[in-house]
Amino acid sequence: MAKKKSKFMCSSCGYEAAKWMGRCPGCGEWNTMNEEVEVITKGPRGAFQHSTTATKATPIIHVEVQEETRIATEMSEFNRVLGGGIVPGSLVLIGGDPGIGKSTLLLQVSALLSNQGKRVLYISGEESVRQTKLRAERLGVHTPELYIYSETNLEFLNQTIDEVQPKFVIVDSIQTVHHPEVTSAPGSVSQVRECTAELMRIAKTKNIAIFLVGHVTKEGQIAGPRILEHMVDTVLYFEGERHHNHRILRSQKNRFGSTNEIAIFEMLHGGLKEVLNPSELFLQERSQGAPGSTIVASMEGTRPILVEIQSLITPTSFNYPKRMATGVDQNRVQLLMAVLEKRMGMMLQAQDAYIKVAGGVKLDEPAIDLAVLTSIVSSFKDQTVRPTDCFIGEVGLTGEVRRVSRIEQRVQEAAKLGFKRAFIPASNIGGWEFPADIQVVGVETISDALRESF
Ligand code: TYD
Ligand code: MG
């Protein structure tokens, strides 16, 4: 006889409790505890028995490692985000807003893989086989190695994987899949967790790389428990504004490579196209010679990109000045403004400040400080900096400009794109060679930087 059990689980962190609570004791979030009814069937578990053979501990010197083989697709940007290609047996989660292009991206990747003669199984719980076929036609996909399957029951998925014997599996989306032995609704915490655990086991035991599509909640997190992110090997986010054509694929977690690596795509009529030189794209629309605009060479993962930072500083009409920042941390902006007030004597208290990173990129490294600060000053004074200048450096509380990582790569990228001067921390000078066609200006304090650039 099956036994029914009811429990409450936090949709954010997966915390379990016997009764409902307004606030989750695990992560402190409000209104995230949901009831889940679970039916526990006694006796052996159905089709997928968990492994019972115990393995032994091995001395580390006896562990043999083979060279990690990665499968590179023809999409070099996609490979880079994954750390150089797809690792067999890995479980990759791709999150993003609805309509951003997750299914399109994965169908294109499937097509490229199957063109290389690798068998791919594309499982869609959201679209029928016909719909997927229509999309594939639009993308120009014709290959016998790509299998399409529309199903949501995990047991059938498992059987089909055994029948088709693919090297790659796409599950679109994890929220639609259900485990037949867990009775709560698809998309609930227990379902998502159990299904992911099962898919992880399939990936590891059968050495198949599995890609999971995950929906994102209003707050921008992958719906379902946070633990989902802990369970998988790699978490990628697909971001972008729906009204803009370009999309950013960002690695948030990667057991097989570096994180914060980004790839940029353009959504065109025939699918997604890689943008091989993102700096050019970001600088395309820049307003040359406008007050408030500066350029920074920021590291995104292992690659430098040049991005425009824009500020608008206007007198406040209410009691409290407004501070708004998109693409950079708002607290960082407040701090930089305080430094300008105290160290440079600028009267910014009665000014509203709006800061924006052009192109919808998010920058979160300290090396952007100097560019943000110069941009604020430029708008405040209504004076432009030279359009061929770029700024790199972290700003400290006493107004000093501090050293940053990978200076050589940043300056090289700026030189490559035709910038004539790079303002960098003085402490970063030495031990490397400046590129020939760019003037490098080492600055010790913000007052040095401002004096030289205006
Ligand atoms: P989709 O991959 O269905 O998004 P997701 O799976 O993340 O929900 O992408 C849907 C959007 O992409 C839709 O608005 C149409 C657009 N699109 C193109 O512009 N060009 C194309 O070739 C395709 C297939 C879709
Ligand atoms: Mg989709």
Closest Cα to atom 9 of ligand 1? 101
Q: For the chain, what is the HEC assignment?
A: CCEEEEEEEECCCCCEECCCCCECCCCCCECCEEEEEEEECCCCCCCCCCCCCCCCCCCHHHCCCCCCCCECCCCHHHHHHCCCCECCCCEEEEEECCCCCHHHHHHHHHHHHHHCCCCEEEEECCCCHHHHHHHHHHCCCCCCCEEEECCCEHHHHHHHHHHHCCCEEEEECHHHCECCCCCCCCCCHHHHHHHHHHHHHHHHHHCCEEEEEEEECCCCCECCCCHHHHHCCEEEEEECCCCCCEEEEEEEEECCCCCCCEEEEEEECCEEEECCCHHHHHHHCCCCCCCCEEEEEEEECCEEEEEEEEEEEEECCCCCCCEEEECCCHHHHHHHHHHHHHHHCCCCCCEEEEEEEHHHCCCCCHHHHHHHHHHHHHHHHCCCCCCCEEECCEECCCCEEECCCCHHHHHHHHHHCCCCEEEEEHHHCCCCCCCCCCEEEEECEHHHHHHHHC
Complex ipTM:
0.95
Counting ligands in written order, which one lies closest to the CA of residue 102?
A: 1
Q: Which ligand lies nearest to the CA atom of residue 104 in the structure?
A: 1
- Per-10-residue mean pLDDT of the chain, 454 residues long, equals 70 82 86 73 50 75 78 92 93 91 94 92 92 88 89 94 95 91 83 92 94 79 70 91 82 87 88 88 82 94 89 91 93 96 94 90 92 97 95 97 95 92 96 92 96 94
What is the whole-number distance in angstroms between the Cα of residue 305 and the centre of ligand 1? 26
Ligand 2 centroid to 101 CA: how many Å? 7
Using the atom order of ligand 1, give the atom closest to the CA of residue 271.
Answer: 22
List residues near ligand 1 (CB under 6 A): 96, 98-104, 135, 138-139, 267, 269-271
Task: Identify the nearest ligand to the CA of 126 by its number.
Answer: 2
Ligand 1 atom closest to Cα of residue 102? 7
Q: Is 102 within any annotated ligand binding site?
A: yes
Express each pLDDT in 161-185 by its tens digit. 999 999 999 999 898 999 998 888 8
Q: Is 301 annotated as a binding residue?
A: no
Expressed in angstroms and rounded, the spacing between residue 303 Cα and the centre of ligand 1 is 27
- The pLDDT value recorded for residue 44 is 46
Tell me, in angstroms, the distance from the centre of ligand 2 to residue 214's CA.
Answer: 9
Q: Is 101 annotated as a binding residue?
A: yes
